Structure 1
């Protein structure tokens, strides 16, 4: 009853005719079919999202008709996995509504937490990924996206081993962590200040992220020697605490209206620009090389 049928421009009767009792042969290894329960589950999970995407898309193309834009869609930060039928249904309905997009991030099996490697069974991930890949190839107008996809090196190897597995990966957050690594190497006092501030904010800031860090396992900055700071970037707890608090580091101000960290961070990055380039180049290669 809470479904936006008007936004979907459809109804349960028409959708039942479209999906029930049919087999959609996507590849030699994948045939999509649905029962009424699966259809209703897909509608409950994604129906209103599809209607909302259509509304946003129409606003974009009518308000800015001459603006060169690309639409990316993500449903990855949900509690339940996106099944092959739900992926198929989602894209088929968007196509019916005339929504053009370049990538879709489904919710894969396993955990794609911020700033750390994949948690889950890689063989099972590969089995499911191949199904989702077959769906993208069937429609042919977008590619799979891995949101929260940075630092998922074990997954990159799996995808890189699959021929034609074109994938979009977002890496913005991890690039920020590499900038903080420069601070740990070059300005340890400043980095300790950031670390303590982030640790104090973590419990509040983590609420909108998929993370599992235990901030109580992180010592105060002054309890680490200079030599111990850079290795912290290989500690999952530290990585996630630093990752989810990035917005506060870049926006929080003092009572005098001055940025607490932003200006100093940017100035230091200018000072150590070449060091940052060296570090970020190594990091990007770690992300890209598995796909060669």
Structure 2
């Protein structure tokens, strides 16, 4: 690959590849990472790549930016860099709020579980808004990260927690292949728990046109029925069916509407969906899960994964809070229902650091599982910051404490400011805060405020410096991510 070495660029060895009659690689320079391409002078691909050009003896050498145009050119000509469908393979979503984590994610997959299908391009529409990123930014960051790491075994892309058609359209246009629908706003747990008259009124008020059904029709299908879900018996009486329909009927109708919109908008493009009802207060019972699955099938919705609201608490960036034995029994039933209704995956949302329950969900799902993680890659970035610039980390921590009470509103967290250190600047080992329950959650949920904060002149207050440190110490960040995610992935390997 000698043609790729020019002007003393530091070529990342594993990125180098022969393709399109030439050579492609990623280099580290004083100005940051750059795409390096060597192509014959007559190659039509030259017109698709932007950057500084140099005529060599038998080729044209381009050193270009990590731009959207160049990312798109790579996906066209290096097809393994385009997201693919994951299907029902055991999989793991590895969210990346900074756009620099994929090389570390690749290292973790290679080390712990090469058979697990990775989803490198994953971010919720809510997180995109909070970090001022676009769907294109998320896809491009995964493209560059996979290229840098020399990953050529395919990866998925997950547009997470979509709630509206326009969000689907934006992510479809960017190239996402998986769409996670979140109908949580239509889950009606309050009326479902009410007295008989309240349940009856709520049942009548469901969007029956969208459900292509009627109250009488639904009750007739379930009342008095016994379902065998891979050895798990679920019995419906009229009250159980009515309360389950009230709680999840609106959500089912909303998912069906989103699915039809996506199917029409995608045309011939392949896609897959996951359904998520995890961000609600009350657990999804086994009977409710069965009703959701049965009704979605009746409406023609095809999905590869479902995230029920399991028992216990799934807080951000910390271990499971609850009775592990109760969770074991709960997930066993949900996994049986998934197997009996087409063999879709159970999806574990807020899955980071739930070490105490990984063995149970891995055992009961028998490979039909998706582990979804996101924010702890940001926390591992802060670990690198704490090690390389402790004073700067202390300023981030102080800012996060000030933002916590407002930023926690949309998250299930229980951290308390009075249980966490007030000042990281006085600590000998400030990185220890990342392992303390309350400080960890405080730092976790304030990511959006940290990454979008600006000073009085409108310049980024923290984001640029964080990325500068990660770019300066890419090995430290990759090592931290590998160490962190090997623990997550190992329980799920075949």
Q: Distance in 2 between matches of 1:248 and 1:91?
A: 38
Per-residue deviation, 1:140: 2.3
Q: Distance in 1 between matches of 2:440 and 2:205?
A: 39
Q: In the alignment, which residue of structure 2 is the partner of 1:186?
A: 388
Q: Could you tell me whether the CA contact under 8 Å between 2:367 and 2:492 is conserved in 1? A: no
Over 3 Å counting, the alpha-carbon distance change for 1:24 and 1:161 in structure 2 is: closer
Q: In the alignment, which residue of structure 2 is the partner of 1:39?
A: 241
Q: Could you tell me whether the CA contact under 8 Å between 1:198 and 1:241 is conserved in 2? A: yes
Per-residue CA distance 1:82-109 (angstroms, 9 max, x = gap): 0001001001111111112211111111
Q: Distance in 1 between matches of 2:469 and 2:262?
A: 38
Per-residue CA distance 1:2-38 (angstroms, 9 max, x = gap): 321111111111111111111111123x112211221
Per-residue deviation, 1:163: 6.8
Q: Distance in 1 between matches of 2:296 and 2:392?
A: 48
Q: Distance in 1 between matches of 2:257 and 2:289?
A: 20
Over 3 Å counting, the alpha-carbon distance change for 1:4 and 1:255 in structure 2 is: farther
Q: Could you tell me whether the CA contact under 8 Å between 1:133 and 1:144 is conserved in 2? A: yes
Answering whether residue 312 of structure 2 is matched by residue 119 of structure 1, we say no
Answering whether residue 434 of structure 2 is matched by residue 233 of structure 1, we say yes
Answering whether residue 479 of structure 2 is matched by residue 278 of structure 1, we say yes
Per-residue deviation, 1:288: 1.1
Q: 1:261 aligns with which of 462, 465, 473?
A: 462
Q: In the alignment, which residue of structure 2 is the partner of 1:13?
A: 216
2:270 is paired with a residue of what secondary structure? coil
Structure number with the higher helix fraction is 1
Q: Distance in 1 between matches of 2:359 and 2:259?
A: 34
Per-residue deviation, 1:291: 2.3
2:325 is paired with a residue of what secondary structure? helix
Q: In the alignment, which residue of structure 1 is the partner of 2:27?
A: none
Per-residue deviation, 1:141: 4.1
**What stretches of structure 1 of length at least 5 have no aligned partner?**
none
Q: Distance in 1 between matches of 2:272 and 2:407?
A: 29
Q: 1:56 aligns with which of 254, 258, 274?
A: 258
Q: Could you tell me whether the CA contact under 8 Å between 1:184 and 1:229 is conserved in 2? A: yes
Per-residue deviation, 1:269: 0.8
Answering whether residue 389 of structure 2 is matched by residue 205 of structure 1, we say no
Q: Distance in 2 between matches of 1:204 and 1:252?
A: 14
Q: Distance in 1 between matches of 2:365 and 2:372?
A: 21
Q: Distance in 2 between matches of 1:176 and 1:194?
A: 13
Q: Could you tell me whether the CA contact under 8 Å between 2:278 and 2:310 is conserved in 1? A: yes
Q: Which of 1 and 2 has greater Rg?
A: 2
Answering whether residue 361 of structure 2 is matched by residue 159 of structure 1, we say yes
1:53 is paired with a residue of what secondary structure? helix
Structure number with the higher strand fraction is 2
Answering whether residue 311 of structure 2 is matched by residue 109 of structure 1, we say yes
Q: Distance in 2 between matches of 1:71 and 1:165?
A: 18
Q: Distance in 2 between matches of 1:270 and 1:92?
A: 49
Per-residue deviation, 1:166: 2.4
Q: 1:244 aligns with which of 445, 455, 466?
A: 445
**What stretches of structure 2 of length at least 5 have no aligned partner?**
1-203
